[in-house]
Structure 1
Amino acid sequence: MKRLRTTRRMMISTATATLALSGAAVTTANADAPEKHTAAKGFVTKVVNFGAYTSKVVVDDPMEPDDRDPTVDATNNTLAVSPNEKLAVATNSYSDHLVVINVRSGRKIAEIKGYVSPRNILFAPDSKSFTVSDSSRGVVDRISVHGFRVTQRLPLGAGVFGTAQSRDGKWLYANNAAANTVTVVDLAHNRPADVITGFHEPRQGTKLSYSGDKLYVTNYGEGEVSVVDLTNKDHKIVQRITGFDGLRAVSVNRAGTRLYAANSKTAEISVVDTGSGRTITRVPVGEMPYGAALSPDGSVLLSGDKESNTLTAINTDDNSVIGAVKSGPKGALKGPRQAISFSADSKTAWVLNEDLTVAKVDVQQLEVTDVLGD
């Protein structure tokens, strides 16, 4: 089991921390740097000091989790594609920047620097902004797609990791792997509304039910999924689903009846009846699956098999393996993990590679058709 370590200099009370607003921030400078102007790839950028909650973090070896983030000994990657399917934003936890890619042209158009251990990215429903969590800085930033300005900084404490948001974009749910909590954030007022306790190293995997009444939180430390009732202000854990091995990611179908979980230690996807918590079957996939991404139409689940450099496609009707997506002449998969996004019509998937390029996958043909951002 991965270790958690906390340091006094990293733990800042969220009760006294305040939001810090920025007029602009993007591409070529650190968030703590003095204000200056730079030009790159056609952008004129302006970077300001965010003020509150921007303690400097010294990184000895960016590739070592312990050195990168003293609160959470783990690495992960993240990819978000805007709902209008125009932009993709990606990073991994040992990178100091976010990569912005024009999905239609396939070109990398910007890098947003100033991060230490970026963990999860989510687009707002209107495609006009996105959020990114940074576990070392202990913040969730909102960044506008117009100039890629950081417009809001929400301090949630060192260790903030995976995030999920309501379909209307009004609520954010943020895991904290160091504090073993989930913070409920009122995005309309940009402030925490509640802190839920009782988790065990909740990392990236957290999913909201389609109806918005339940939150499914992975507990890597215990190999279980906690189900939180969101229908009242108590936000109680009402169910614990167990029986996973190296739990990395989960998805839940639209009806809320099936949960799919990636077991990285046994190279299987668990299919679970959410009502009873019983495992229906375990589907063998590639080596070390980190991802379990369900298509919007619910017909296909893609497992990101990190060590096999494949994606395994599963038919959710009968839980059979359709086949594997592999690297080909038109593009390569390089260590696919959790970061998998689907188009609205479920025909295309975008998969983040370890070099922060994005493989475009034809879901029906099970082939990589292009690589974006290379």
Structure 2
Amino acid sequence: MANRQALTDTQTIVEANMQKTVLLAASLLWGLARPAAAQPFDADIRNNTLAVSPNESVAVAGNSQTAELKVYDLARGKLAATLPGFVTPRNIVFSPDGQRIYVTDSSKGVLERWNVGALKLEASLALGPGAFGSAIDRSGSRLYVNNQAANSVSVVDLADWRVLKVITGFSGPRQGIKLSPDGADLYVTNFRSDKLSVVDTATLTLRREIGGFDKIRAISVSADGGTLYAANSGADTLARVDTKTGRITATVPVGREPYGAALRPDGKALYAGNLKSGSLTEVALPDFKPAAEIGGLSGPRQAISFSRDSRKAWVLNQDLSVAELDLATRGIVREIQP
């Protein structure tokens, strides 16, 4: 028994050291690569991000070319505040209670926790340069963060504010990362290999890979967990994936260079954010056929959020203005300016 316990302890120490090595290596490479003046780490990769609070009163927006975040009062339709101090902000998620936001910055190589009420930075956690997309579980206890430079996913315990594990074996994971509704599976997009990795969240190990994409971007998962949707920006399509078989069952043409694949809460429609077309393509479900094109937008990407009743959508434009859409009329109701 003593030998078996010693072996277990040794394995735990080795795994912890490996996780530290991944983060340290990425940080050292960044330190060697950057000049004395602070410069963006991965400025050639561009993205935007928009998060709406659970009570739909606040929206926080950013893009990787702007070193600040915009905080909008959705009730008044006005800019409420600007949060400074970023280099290349990548992703924003709200805590389930709406009291905090978690922000990744790939150049600073950190995850930041901000108090929404006070609009103050509470804490910063080093994850290594390349920290990108993130997904929070329903309980708000765990956050998963892609690192496109280290080809890894960091698992963060939000209560203890520490990295539980660094999962390796990915290939350029960027913004696309989603949990299944039951929290059992984590889906991670690999931009370099054009594959989708499936992680078992109980064991924090890679379960399998799904291929056949073309410049995969955003993903969404159906409420029953049986279907995944992905944007193919290289093929101007959205793909439908059977999560049980791991096969692409259909594709549908949308606008030019789709980044978004946003699923409406009621599950009746899917929206592609078409960067080059300046539009959203509405895809009817379950038919999986184009239903409408909503224009008048400027450089929409992944940053698309919905009201809980599926009547509204908020879409981030390239100038960080937020377009509010009436999904019944498919029209822009207003634009909130930065």
TM, length-normalised to structure 2: 0.89
Aligned to 2:72: 101
Question: Partner residue of 2:195?
Answer: 224
Distance 1:258 1:195 in 2: 27
Q: Which runs of 5+ in 2 are unaligned?
A: 1-25
Query: How many angstroms apart in 1 are the aligned matches of 2:80 and 2:50?
Result: 15
Is the 2:112–2:121 contact (alpha carbons within 8 Å) kept by the matching residues of 1? yes
8 Å CA contact 1:11, 1:158 repeated in 2: no
AA matched with 1:102: D
Matched, 1:281 2:241: no
Distance 1:319 1:254 in 2: 16
Are positions 1:79 and 2:99 aligned together? no
- Provide the C-alpha distance between the structure 2 equivalents of 1:363 and 1:371, rounded to a whole number of angstroms: 15
Question: What's the % identity of the aligned pairs?
Answer: 46
Mapped partners of 1:282, 1:120: distance in 2: 27
Report the alpha carbon displacement of residue 73 of structure 1 after superposing the two structures with TM. Answer: 3.5
Alignment of structure 1 residues 58-73 onto 2, 5 Å: 58-59=38-39, 68-70=40-42, 73=44
Q: Deviation at 1:10?
A: 2.3
**Per-residue Cα deviation, 1:249-295 (whole angstroms, up to 9, x for no partner):** 11111111111000001100001111111111110000000000111
Instruction: State the Cα deviation string for residues 122-161 of structure 1 (Å, max 9, x = none).
Output: 0111111101100000101111112200011111111100
Contact 2:27 2:129 (8 Å CA) reproduced: no
Q: Is the 8 A contact 1:57 1:116 kept in 2?
A: no
Q: Would you say 1:177 and 2:141 are equivalent positions?
A: no
Give the C-alpha shift of residue 177 in structure 1: 0.4
Match runs of 1:1-374 below 5 Å: 8=28, 10=30, 58-59=38-39, 68-70=40-42, 73-232=44-203, 235-327=204-296, 333-374=297-338
Q: 1:180 to 1:11 in 2, by over 3 A?
A: farther
CA shift digits 1:322-366 (9 cap, x unpaired): 101112xxxxx1110010001111111100000000000111221
The answer to whether the 8 A contact 1:57-1:136 is kept is: no
User: Residue 8 of structure 1: CA displacement?
Assistant: 4.0
Residue type matched to 2:316 in 1?
A: L
Counterparts of 1:57 and 1:138, CA distance in 2: 16
Give the equivalent residue in structure 2 for 1:29. Answer: none
Alignment deviations for residues 22-54 of structure 1 (CA, whole Å, 9 cap, x no partner): xxxxxxxxxxxxxxxxxxxxxxxxxxxxxxxxx
Opposite residue 69 of structure 1, the aligned amino acid is F
Cα separation, partners in 2 of 1:323 and 1:181, compared to 1, 3 Å: same
Asked if structure 2 preserves the Cα contact closer than 8 Å seen for 1:292 and 1:303, the reply is yes
CA 1:109–1:237: 2 relative to 1, 3 Å: same
Q: Give the Cα separation in 1 of the matches to 2:138 and 2:264.
A: 16
The answer to whether the Cα contact below 8 Å between 2:276 and 2:299 also exists between their aligned partners in 1 is yes
Higher mean C-alpha displacement, 362-371 vs 122-131: 362-371
Amino acid at match of 2:334: D
Query: How far is the alpha carbon of 1:58 from its aligned partner?
Result: 2.3
The structure whose residues are more often helix, as a share, is 2
Q: CA–CA distance in 2 between the matches of 1:119 and 1:314?
A: 27
Structural RMSD (CA): 1.6
Amino acid at match of 2:258: P
Distance 2:279 2:251 in 1: 18
4+ long deviations beyond 3 Å: 6-9
Aligned pair count reads 311
Is residue 307–residue 313 contact of structure 2 (8 Å, CA) maintained in 1? yes
Normalised by the length of structure 1, the TM-score is: 0.81
3-state SS of the aligned residue for 1:147?
Answer: coil
Asked if the contact 1:11/1:157 (under 8 Å) is kept, the reply is no
Which whole-Å CA distance do the structure 1 matches of 2:206 and 2:118 have between them?
40
The DSSP-based 3-state class of the residue aligned with 1:10 is: helix
- Return the alpha-carbon distance in structure 1 between the equivalents of residues 254 and 109 of structure 2: 35
